[in-house]
Structure 1
Amino acid sequence: MKTLGHFGKVLAIAPHPDDEVLGCGGTLARLVDEGADVTIAIATKGNPPAFLAEQVERVMQETQKAHHILGVRDTRQMGLPAAALDTLPAAQTNSAFAELIGDIAPDTLLLPFIGDIHLDHQIVFLAAMVAARPRNNDAPCQILAYETLSETNWFAAPTTPAFVPNVFVDISATLGRKLDAFAAFESQVRPFPEERSIEALKALATLRGSAVHARAAEAFMLVRQIVRSA
């Protein structure tokens, strides 16, 4: 099997805790296994009264456990307001992501899909793309959008952007860790046939894998790729 060495330093941005596991957890685990430098940034945090303090603390603990299972040691909490990114001035949101991306200087950026139904997902994508503009050689060379069960497929495609993957990462060896990492989010897991279930997540990985003759895969849409000279 070929390695993911061309990903270089990787930054995966999740609008909310567990999005990164649902969308690219298997890929992140594989990258860690191959020795890649991987960072996960959680964009938002729940604030009262919409979110109870004990609920927020529980999810943060679940996040730590999930990332430990994946093997990711660098987790950044951006602390932007969950389910309320649209209440912030665009300049403030863009600045937060510019600081994050400037600090990490990733080669590969993994983002939620612009066509997700949750507005937080859309804003995170747009703000990260503003921050990742190729104004210098430190800009990310590869930007991929991942799919999130219960978000990516619930909008109104083709009226809205449709997720049509053109990059597939074989996660046959790390699917188990992806599922275990999602199971760590006990407050978020739902019983099948709800989409946020272990069974549905495994089924999607099997489906994406079968599209490229693999036992399991994660699918992405390539947003931009820059092949620089040596």
Structure 2
Amino acid sequence: MTIDWSRERLLIYAPHPDDETLGCGGLMAKVKNAGAEIYVQFVTVGDTADLSTKGYSTADERFAEIKKVADHFRWDDWNVAFPGDEYHLKLDAIPRFELSNAFERHSPLSIAEIEPTVVLAPHRTSYNQDHQVTAEAVHTALRPSDTRKRHHPRVVAAYEEAADQWRYDAAPSPNLLVELAETDLDTKLAAMCMYGTQTHEHPHTRSEATLRSLAVLRGMQGGVALAEGFHTMRWLA
């Protein structure tokens, strides 16, 4: 089965800046070149402890990185729903009702506003609490209902990150593989380099070697050179 990406409008949920690139950077490169629209809804960003010399990266630094990556991928728009240290890495303290409503209709990039044809979000089995909460809130916002009254994207899927496997109940292998060209992967890896506060040398879940290895593995499973994997929750043909 193939998708005419030139006709699609993607809405991608990223708990933090870089999750969208880790999970579907290759897909974003592929579909944008085909003519698709791409909107990225970040959920939160704040000062972040890291392994750099100074020991942390500021929210301002991370916003500057987002702007570079947005230009790199040519996103149509992006937004941060809950910025600030009071939310960053604390999304599990926000009521599901509030998060789901933001995603469904209150954010500038809400489902009601964008009317996406494809929605991508993190997988709920991630060990990261912000990823879990985001996945569940998106799931609630996209609950089945009368399509005459609420917009329903045709495709709803979860992207994967290498770090998601750090769970005893980790998700099984993806059931949707999207073939990537070498240039798509190169675009993804270049974007990760722009997230300078978040990239690391190998061995690390966010290293270039890890990202390339996962693309090679998913490609092998589909009988092609490179691919990204997704877990589909809805596919309306």
Question: Number of aligned pairs?
Answer: 222
- Contact 1:114–1:126 (8 Å) recurs in 2: yes
Which runs of 5 or more residues in structure 1 are unaligned?
none
Query: In the alignment, is residue 86 of structure 1 matched against residue 73 of structure 2?
Result: no
The CA deviation at 1:106 is 0.8
Query: In the alignment, is residue 73 of structure 1 matched against residue 73 of structure 2?
Result: no
For 2:220 and 2:9, the matched residues in 1 are separated by 28
The CA deviation at 1:182 is 0.6
Task: Please give the per-residue CA displacement for 1:14-43, whole angstroms capped at 9, x wherever unaligned.
Answer: 011000000001101111111011111111
The CA deviation at 1:176 is 0.4
Query: In the alignment, is residue 167 of structure 1 matched against residue 176 of structure 2?
Result: yes
Equivalent residue, structure 2, for 1:97: 103
- Contact 1:27–1:218 (8 Å) recurs in 2: yes
Query: Could you tell me the TM-score, scaled by structure 1's length?
Result: 0.89
The CA deviation at 1:70 is 1.8
Equivalent residue, structure 2, for 1:140: 153
Runs of 4 or more consecutive aligned structure 1 residues displaced over 4 Å after TM superposition: 47-50
For 1:48 and 1:198, the matched residues in 2 are separated by 21
The CA deviation at 1:127 is 0.7
- Contact 2:219–2:228 (8 Å) recurs in 1: yes
For 2:179 and 2:49, the matched residues in 1 are separated by 41
Equivalent residue, structure 1, for 2:45: 45
SS in 1 for 2:234: strand
Query: Could you tell me the TM-score, scaled by structure 2's length?
Result: 0.86
For 2:12 and 2:95, the matched residues in 1 are separated by 23
For 1:70 and 1:49, the matched residues in 2 are separated by 27
Equivalent residue, structure 1, for 2:5: 5
For 2:7 and 2:99, the matched residues in 1 are separated by 26
The alpha-carbon distance between structure 1 residues 136 and 6, as it changes in their structure 2 partners (threshold 3 A), is farther
Deviates more, 1:99-108 or 1:66-75: 66-75
Which runs of 5 or more residues in structure 2 are unaligned?
none
Equivalent residue, structure 2, for 1:130: 140
The CA deviation at 1:2 is 5.2
1:1-230 paired onto structure 2 within 5 Å: 3-5=3-5, 8-46=8-46, 55-80=58-83, 81-99=87-105, 100-137=110-147, 138-150=151-163, 152-157=164-169, 161-172=170-181, 173-227=183-237
Paired-residue identity, %: 30
